[in-house]
Structure 1
Amino acid sequence: MRKVTDVLTDLGGVAGTSSLRQAGVSRRLIEAGLSDASIHRVARGVYALPDAEPLAVHAGRHYAVPGCVTAAFAAGLWVVKRPDQPHLAASHGRPITGCVVHRSHLPLTHLDIVCQSLRCLPRLEGLTIAESAVKQGLVQLSDLRGRFPAAREKALLVLVARIRPQSGSIIETMARYLLEEAGLTVELQVSVPGMGHLDLLVDGLLGIETDGYAHHSSRQAYREDRRRWNITVVRGLPTLRVTFEMLLNEPMEFVKMVHLALGTYRTAH
């Protein structure tokens, strides 16, 4: 029989009696954990490890769990920005001080988290979370489409149709979304002889390469970056470099820059 502390660790540090019992923890082991202080009771039928995350404990006290964008961030999905208030999910749906509450059946699945994000967040922020979940194999596109059958959610179904699992990073997804919203045609992971794959190709003319946080993490990566850049010049493929910060803080400046570049190179051709 598994230790209650091991099970709680697997469940994120906080869990209710039913979840613990389903994982093979007997009531006797729960009582033993309370007796030796290896676990604490935070609410009736809810238990936590002494070092559990404060947010998880706060949620547990209110019979809730992290949900929506907060759960997406914890799961390693592509989150554009952290919310001002944590998002929780609870079957009761009652307000919880300092939090945004989503009414939902528990336990949450990755599909639940993605659907909450699509319904709750701005379109781009919902798309990045959904696209990363599909890319990582945590959610199937067919299942996601099936969660938005209502006519009033047609816009969300249209957004789901824009998911591209081949996207290589959150920056690519953000750039593609902004350019498509501007009416431009964007291709992903375009093969360029001698170079490899270009992140994005706009209107068949302008390349976009994205610089992530870990860009140039080594001398070898720096040399490879310069080699790829030189190939685009030799092949007559003008390429812009964009960062996460640019897309987050100056999205319209990014789109304007792309339009200007396209105008310049269309004239040259």
Structure 2
Amino acid sequence: MRLRGVYSWAELIELGLRRKDIELLVKNNDLTRLRQGWYATTDANWRVVEAVKKGGVLTCVDALAHHGVWVPEELTKAVHVRGNARATRAHPTFCRQYGRPEPETGAIDDIGIAFRHAVRCLSPEGIVAVGDSILNQELLAMADLRGELSAAPAAVRELLERCDALADSGAESLVRFRLHSVRVSVRVQVTIEGVGTVDLVIGDRLIIEVDGDRYHRTKEQMEEDKRRDRAAASQGYITLRLTYGAVVDTWDDTLDAILDIVRRKDHLWPRKRGPKRDETSA
């Protein structure tokens, strides 16, 4: 048997281990006792280990990220922990959900439980971006998300109506949310002949491409971006390519640049000229 991660006593028993097996693994340093009833292997994820040692389990944005959901980078600096009713009373800094605390089912919460806790840590735009990521990857359906937030305030539940399963990255979701918030209408994942599918289109011809990764961009990807931009320009489109930093770190300047284009009406086709190619929403 190959153990890896953090386990409760009950989980180890379900895996077929007996008390003496667990005691032997601890004696041989193959398992470390984190707190009563919880054990970790030597290669367990440090965030999970930290959460269990603090008296709870990994939840909120940390658990969502573990399941492959996009979460705001700035919220992952601290470990997000939640506990059962007793642990929650003892630890006022633990993450909480709307409604009563529930029993721990494993060292890492599933997506539903993690999302219920995350909405109390996320901003409105963060809730929408996380919802987009869950829907885009088909990890949960919209009906599931609504069910998870049934105990949340109406203002939180209503944010789900702003989610879009077509959104391809968290940064793209943030841009869409922020533009809608200043009454700039955008279309999501629009396919343009000869160019391909672009992230966002404002008006007739302003393409917004959003780099969803702060650090990793290969030479091949950058060359393909340039080809797409040339193809778009040849048809009269304007492409504004946003880095992750332009969205997260310097958004005010980025928004000013977008609004300048819109105020000049450069996002619209000149009166006597229309698009040379057809475009459709993906």
Judge same fold: TM > 0.5, yes or no. yes
Q: After TM superposition, give the deviation of residue 42 of structure 1 in Å.
A: 2.0
Mapped pair 1:90 → 2:90: no
Q: Does the 8 Å CA contact 1:71/1:113 hold for their aligned counterparts?
A: yes
Q: What's the counterpart of residue 101 of structure 1? A: 95
Within a 5 Å distance, the mapping from 1:1-269 to structure 2 comes to 3=1, 6-7=2-3, 9=4, 13-83=5-75, 84-91=77-84, 92-96=87-91, 100-102=94-96, 103-107=101-105, 108-150=109-151, 153-213=153-213, 216-218=217-219, 220-264=220-264, 265=266, 266=268, 269=271
Report SS of the residue matched to 1:145. helix
Q: Percent of aligned positions with the same letter in both sequences? A: 25
TM-score under structure 2 length normalisation: 0.82
The secondary structure found in structure 2 opposite 1:197 is strand
**2:103 aligned partner, one-letter code:** H
Q: CA shift at 1:224, angstroms?
A: 2.1
What letter is aligned with 2:236? G
Give the Å deviation of 1:267: 9.5
Q: Is the 8 A contact 1:206 1:238 kept in 2?
A: yes
Unmatched 5+ stretches in structure 2: 272-282
CA displacement 1:187-237 (0-9 Å, x = unmatched): 11111111111210113342101234466513x433322221112212112
Aligned partners of 1:162, 1:146: CA distance in 2, in Å? 16
Deviation for aligned residue 1:106: 2.1
What value does the CA root-mean-square deviation take over the aligned residues?
2.4
Letter in 2 for 1:210: V
Question: Which whole-Å CA distance do the structure 2 matches of 1:139 and 1:156 have between them?
Answer: 18
Residue 142 of structure 1: SS of its match in structure 2? helix
Distance in 2, matches of 1:216 and 1:39, equals 39
- After TM superposition, the structure 1 stretch with the greater mean CA deviation from structure 2, 239-248 or 76-85, is 76-85
Distance 1:169 1:77 in 2: 10
Compute the TM-score of the two structures, normalised by the length of structure 1.
0.85
Provide runs of 4+ in structure 1 moved above 6 Å.
none
Once residues 130 and 57 of structure 1 are traced to their aligned partners in structure 2, the CA distance between those partners, rounded to angstroms, is 27
Task: Return the alpha-carbon distance in structure 1 between the equivalents of residues 204 and 115 of structure 2.
Answer: 32
Q: 1:59 to 1:94 in 2, by over 3 A?
A: farther
1:110 Cα offset (Å): 0.7
State how far apart, in whole Å, the 1-side matches of 2:158 and 2:204 are.
24
Q: Does the Cα contact within 8 Å between 1:178 and 1:251 map onto a contact in 2? A: no
What runs of 5+ residues in structure 1 fail to find an aligned partner?
none
More deviation in 232-241 or 72-81?
72-81
The question of whether the paired residues in 2 share the 8 Å contact of 1:205 and 1:262 is answered with no
Amino acid at match of 1:190: V
Structure 1 residues 51 and 231, CA gap change in structure 2 (3 angstroms): closer
Task: Show CA shifts across 1:35-62 (max 9, x none).
Answer: 3221122222111113434443332234
Separation in structure 2 between the aligned mates of residue 115 and residue 15 of structure 1, nearest angstrom: 23
For 1:147 and 1:212, locate their aligned partners in 2 and report how far apart those are by CA, in whole Å. 27
